[in-house]
A and B are shown apart, each in its own frame.
Chain A
Amino acid sequence: MSIMQIMEHSVVVRELVKTYGTQKAVKGVSFEIGMAEIFGLIGPNGAGKTTILRVISTLLQITSGSVNVFEYDISRDASDVRKLISYLPEEAGAYKNLTGKGYLEFIASFYSTNTADKIKMVNRGIEIAQLGKRIDDKSSTYSKGMTRRLLVARALMVNPKLAILDEPTSGLDVINSQEIRGLIKEFVENKGTVLLSSHNMLEIELLCDRIALINDGLILEIGTPEELKLKYKARNIEEVFVSVVK
Chain B
Amino acid sequence: MNDSTSRGSRDFKGGGVSPLPLMNHLYTIIKKEVKELLTKELMMSLVFMAVFFVFMGKMMRSVEKESEKINISILDLDSTQYLQNILSLVGSKEIKVNIIDAKDVKSAIGKAKADSTTVLLVIPNGFNSKLMKMEKVEIEMYSIMKGLSMTETISSAMIKSIVDAINKSIASTFIQRLAPDKKAEDVLTPIVTKDFVVIKDKTLPGTPAMITAITTSQSMIIPLILMMVIMYAGMMIMTSMGQEKETKTLETLLTLPVSRMCIIGGKMVGSAIVAFVMTVIYMIGFKYYMSPMSELPKLAVSMKEFGISMTPLGYLLLGIALFLAILVALSICIVLGVFTQDAKSAQTMTYPLSMIVLIPFMLTMFKDIETLPMGLKILVYAIPFSHPMMASKFLIFHNYLPVIYGMIYMAIFTGFTIWIGAKIFSTDKVLTAKLALTKKITLWKK
Tell me the nearest residue of chain B to A60, going by C-beta: B428
A101 near B: Cβ within 8 Å? no
How far is B8's CA from A92's CA once the two chains are assembled, in angstroms?
30
Complex Cα distance, B1 from A9, in Å, reads 8
B residues less than 8 Å from A109 (CB atoms) = 24-25, 28
Name B251's contact: one of A59, A84, A85 (CB within 8 Å).
A59
Q: Which of A12, A20, A93, A95 contacts B432 (CB 8 A)?
A: A20
Closest to B440 in A: A21
CA distance A86 to B253 in the complex (A): 10
CB–CB A80/B13 < 8 A? yes
Bits for B17-58, please: 1 = Cβ < 8 Å to A, else 0. Answer: 000010011001000100110010000000000000000000
Complex: chain A residue closest to B35, CB-CB: A97
Q: How far is the CB of A142 from chain B (nearest CB, A)?
A: 12
A68 neighbours in B (Cβ, 8 Å): 1
Chain B minimum-CB-distance residue to A92: B248
Bound state CA distance, A194 and B9, in angstroms? 16
Listed in ascending order, the chain A residues whose CB lies under 8 Å from chain B are: 8-10, 12, 20-21, 54, 57-61, 68, 70-72, 79-80, 82-98, 102, 106-107, 109-111, 113, 154, 161
Find out whether the CB atom of B249 lies under 8 angstroms from the CB atom of A93.
Answer: yes
A84 and B12 contact, CB distance less than 8 A:
yes
The listed residue (A20, A92, A111, A161) touching B9 by CB distance below 8 A is A161
**Given A8-B2, A70-B8, A59 and B431 contact (CB-CB distance below 8 Å):** yes
A95 in contact with B5 (CB, 8 Å): no
Closest chain A CB from B271 CB (angstroms): 14
Partner of B247 from the list A61, A92, A107 (CB cut-off 8 Å) is A92
Contact B432 A110 (CB under 8 A): no
Interface-lining segment among B211-219, B256-264, B320-328, B373-381: B256-264
With contacts A91-B248, A106-B32 taken as known, whether A79 is within 8 angstroms of B259 at the C-beta atoms is yes
* B15 proximal to A (CB < 8 A): yes
What secondary structure prevails in chain B residues at the interface with A?
helix
Complex: how many Å from CA A153 to CA B225?
44
Q: Decide if A89 touches B252 in the complex (CB within 8 Å).
A: yes
Task: Please give, as numbers and ranges, the residues of chain B lying within 8 Å of A88 by CB-CB distance.
Answer: 252
> Which range holds the interface residue count of chain B?
35 or more
Determine the residue in chain A with the shortest Cβ distance to B247: A93
**Does the CB pair B36–A70 fall under 8 Å?**
no
A70–B5 CB distance below 8 A: yes
Which of A82, A91, A92, A154 contacts B257, CB < 8 Å?
A82
B88 within 8 A of A: no
Q: Is B383 an interface residue (CB 8 A)?
A: no
- Asked if residues A97 and B257 are in contact (CB atoms below 8 Å), the reply is no
Residues of B with C-beta under 8 A to A97: 35-36, 39
* B255 A71 Cβ-Cβ under 8 A: no
Residues of chain A lying within 8 A (CB to CB) of residue B256: 82, 107, 110-111
Whole-angstrom distance between the alpha carbons of A87 and B432 in the complex?
18
Q: Which residues of A contact B193 (CB under 8 A)?
A: none
Q: How far is the CA of A109 from the CA of B16 in the complex (A)?
A: 13
Question: Residue on A with the closest CB to B243?
Answer: A96
Listed from nearest, the 8 A-B pairs whose CB atoms lie closest are: A93-B247, A71-B6, A92-B248, A87-B255, A83-B12, A83-B257, A89-B251, A60-B428
Inter-chain contact A94/B28, CB cutoff 8 Å: no
Known: A20-B432, A80-B13. A71 touches B258 (CB 8 A): no
Would A79 and B257 count as touching, CB distance under 8 A?
yes
Q: Is the CB of A113 within 8 A of B15?
A: yes
Q: How far is A57 from B39 in the complex, measured between Cα atoms in Å?
A: 31
Contact B255 A79 (CB under 8 A): no
B442 within 8 A of A: no
Q: Is the CB of A71 within 8 A of B5?
A: yes
Known: A12-B1, A70-B8. A87 touches B251 (CB 8 A): yes
Question: In this assembly, does B446 line the interface, its C-beta being within 8 Å of a C-beta of chain A?
Answer: no
Chain B residues whose C-beta falls within 8 Å of the C-beta of A98 in the assembled complex: 32, 35-36
**Min CB–CB distance B264 → chain A (angstroms):** 15
Bound CA–CA A89/B251 (angstroms) = 7
Shortest distance between the CB of A117 and any CB in chain B (Å): 12
Could you show 13 A-B contacts with beta carbons less than 8 Å apart? A54-B431, A59-B255, A71-B1, A71-B5, A87-B255, A89-B252, A93-B246, A95-B36, A95-B249, A98-B36, A110-B28, A111-B257, A154-B252
Q: Which residues from A are CB-within-8-Å of B35? A: 95, 97-98, 102
A92: B residues at CB distance < 8 A: 247-249, 251-252
CA distance A61 to B255 in the complex (A): 13
Decide if B4 is an interface residue (CB 8 Å cutoff): yes
Q: How far is the CA of A79 from the CA of B426 in the complex (A)?
A: 11
Q: Bound complex: CA of A85 vs CA of B39, how far in Å?
A: 32
Q: Taking each of B21, B36, B257, B431, which has the highest tally of chain A beta carbons within 10 Å of its own beta carbon?
A: B257
Which residues of the other chain, B, contact A102 by a CB distance below 8 angstroms? 35
